[in-house]
Amino acid sequence: MYFLYSILLVLWGILLIPALLYKAWRRGTYLPGLSQRMGRLPDGLRFDGRATIWFHSCSVGETLSLEPLIRYLYQRFPEARFVCSTITQTGQQVAVQRFAAYGEKNTFYFPIDFASVAGRVLDWIRPAMIVIIDTEIWPNTLHQAHRRGIPVMLVNGRISSASFRYYRRARPLLRRVFQNYRALLMQTADDASRITQMGAPRDKVFVTGNIKIDRELPDAKTEEGLFNSLDEAFGFSRLNAPLIVAGSTHAGEEQMLLKALRQIRQESGLQQTKLLLAPRHPERFQDVIRLAEQSGFKVRRRTGGPGGDAGAEVLILDTIGELAAVYRFASVAFVGGTLVRHGGHSIMEPALYSKATVIGPSAENFRQIVDEFRAQGGLRQISAGQEEPELQFQQLLDVFLELLQNAKERERLGKAAFSVLERNRGTTQRTGEMIAAVFEEMSRR
C-alpha cells in the first residue's frame, strides 16, 4: 500500500511541476526550503539529547493556533525541546516570528512524504512525539514514525462535509493509516463521527474542542510595539472615520468590497469611510493594489513606510501575521473566503476584540462555530451566494450601512461574539494535558 502511495505521489509531483515553475516565475522566487523538504535539515535541528516534541502546522492560521498550546506545554516542560514545521512559506514566516522564544533555529519546512525522506528527518530530530495540527494525513511519515515507536497525535482535527465525501472512498487505505496514530483529537462530535467512518479506531478518537478559540487577546504591553507600528503605517489614530477591515480575502471578493466602499462613501456621515484589505495569499498583494487603483481609489500599503498618503481611501495589509492585531482598529470586520465558495476563514480573531463581524454564505470550514455565533447573536451572515451577484452585493451593502450607522448594534454584536469565546475556553488545557501525558510516558523510556 505504501509503495503504491509513493508511486502516485511521484506522479502527482510530476504533474505539479509546471504549476510550481509558473508560480516561481511569477513571484520571482524558487520553491522555498527545497533542501529541507527533501530531508536535509540544518545542524541546529539535530537531536541534542533533550526530549523533543515536533509540532506540525500547514499555514498561517494553524501556526497561530499553536501559540497557546506551545506556551502551555513549555510551562509544563521548560527543559524540553520544541521544533515546528510548516508547509507554506507564510506559515514558516509566522513560525519563525512566534516560536523563537522556545528555541533557536527551531523551525523548518515539512518533508516531502517519501519514506526515505521522512525517515531521514525523524532520525535527525529523533522526536519523543509528533503533534499535527488540523487534519493532515501523511501516510509515509506516519508509518515511519510508527516503525520507530514515535507516537503521533492529531490535534484540532476537522473533517469538512466536502472532504468527507472524498476521504470516505479511501476507507480501506485510511483504516491502515489511522492505526499509526496514538490519538485523534477532534474539534466536534461531527468531526469525530466522520473520522471514525473513514476508518479511525473509535478508541483513539476524542472530542476536545477547537484550540483556536483559546487564542488570547494580545497583551497591550507586549504588543504595544506592533500596534504602534501599524498605527504609524496606516494612521489609525488619526482616521476619525469608520474603518472596515476585510481579512483573508480571495479573488472576486475585493471587487465587491471596493464597490461597496464607493456606495458607502456617498451616504451622509460616512463620506470618510475607509477599507482595509488583507488578501489571504501574498502573491495577490500587487494584484489587489492594482485593482483598488483601477477602481479609482488612493492606496496606502503597510510596507510603504510611515507617512503614507493620509488621504488614501483603501489600505492594504501586505504583510504576514499581523491581521489579528489590525482587527483591533476596525469599526466593522469582514472575514473573507465567504462570498466565494471557499469555505471561509476564522471569525475568532475579530471576536477577540469584540468586533461586529460580517461574513458571506460560504462557511463550511467553520460550520459549528458560525452556527453558535449566529445563534448567540454574535455575527451577521448574508445569505445570497455568488450565483446571485447583484443580490449578494445588495445584502452586503445593506449590512455594512446598518452597522456603520448604528454604534449600539455594533457593540451588541461584538459583546455577543466575545461571550461565545469566553464560554468555550479550556480546549488548550484539555489538549495540552493529553499531549503531556504521552510526552511524560515517552520521556521515561
pLDDT in tens, 184-223: 999 999 999 999 999 999 999 999 988 888 776 665 555 7
Q: How far is CA 279 from the centre of its chain?
A: 13
Binned at pLDDT 50, 70 and 90, residue 285 comes out as very high
pLDDT of residue 121: 97
How many angstroms separate the CA atoms of 56 and 131, rounded? Answer: 6
pLDDT of residue 216: 64
Helix extents (H) in 211-340? 224-234, 253-264, 285-294, 323-326
How many angstroms separate the CA atoms of 429 and 434, rounded? Answer: 9
pLDDT at 25 over 70: no
Domain map (residue ranges) of the chain: 1-31, 36-210+427-443, 224-423
Whole-number Cα distances in Å, 378 to 201, 351, 353, 372: 36, 8, 12, 8
The predicted model gives 53-80 an average pLDDT of: 92
269 HSE (CA, 13 A, CB side) = 7
The residue type found at 36 is Q
Residue 209 CB: number of other CB atoms within 10 A?
Answer: 19
Q: Global pTM? A: 0.83
For the stretch 38-58, pLDDT in tens is 999 999 999 999 999 999 999
Order the strands of the 107-109 sheet from edge to edge: 107-109, 81-86, 52-56, 129-133, 152-157, 183-186, 205-207
Give the cell for residue 58.
Answer: 500547514
Rounded to a whole number, what is the distance in angstroms from the first to the last CA of the chain?
Answer: 31
The residue type found at 339 is L
pLDDT of residue 312: 95
The predicted model gives 262-288 an average pLDDT of: 96
The predicted model gives 75-92 an average pLDDT of: 93
Fold agreement between 36-210+427-443 and 224-423: yes
pLDDT of residue 105: 84
pLDDT at 27 over 60: no
For the stretch 113-154, pLDDT in tens is 999 999 999 999 999 999 999 888 999 999 999 999 999 999
227 class by beta-carbon count within 10 Å (0-12 exposed, 13-18 middle, 19+ buried): middle
The predicted model gives 357-373 an average pLDDT of: 91
- Specify the range with the lowest mean pLDDT, choosing from 164-173, 347-356, 381-390, 394-403: 164-173
Radius of gyration of the chain (CA): 23
Instruction: Select the more confidently predicted residue: 168 or 391.
Output: 391
Binned at pLDDT 50, 70 and 90, residue 272 comes out as very high
Residue 92 φ then ψ, to 5°: -65, -40
Report whether CATH 3.40.50.410 matches the domain 36-210+427-443. no
Instruction: Select the more confidently predicted residue: 308 or 367.
Output: 367
pLDDT at 14 over 60: yes
pLDDT of residue 31: 66
CATH superfamily of the 224-423 domain: Glycogen Phosphorylase B; (3.40.50.2000)
Rounded percentage of the chain residues whose pLDDT exceeds 70: 94
Residue 301 CB: number of other CB atoms within 10 A?
Answer: 23
Binned at pLDDT 50, 70 and 90, residue 268 comes out as very high
For the stretch 222-264, pLDDT in tens is 578 889 999 999 999 888 899 999 999 999 999 999 999 999 9
370 HSE (CA, 13 A, CB side) = 20
Cα torsion 259, 353, 428, 103 to 10°: value is: 90
Per-residue burial over 111-141, b if 16 or more Cβ lie within 10 Å, else e, is bbbbbebbbbbbebbbbbbbbbbbbbbbbbb
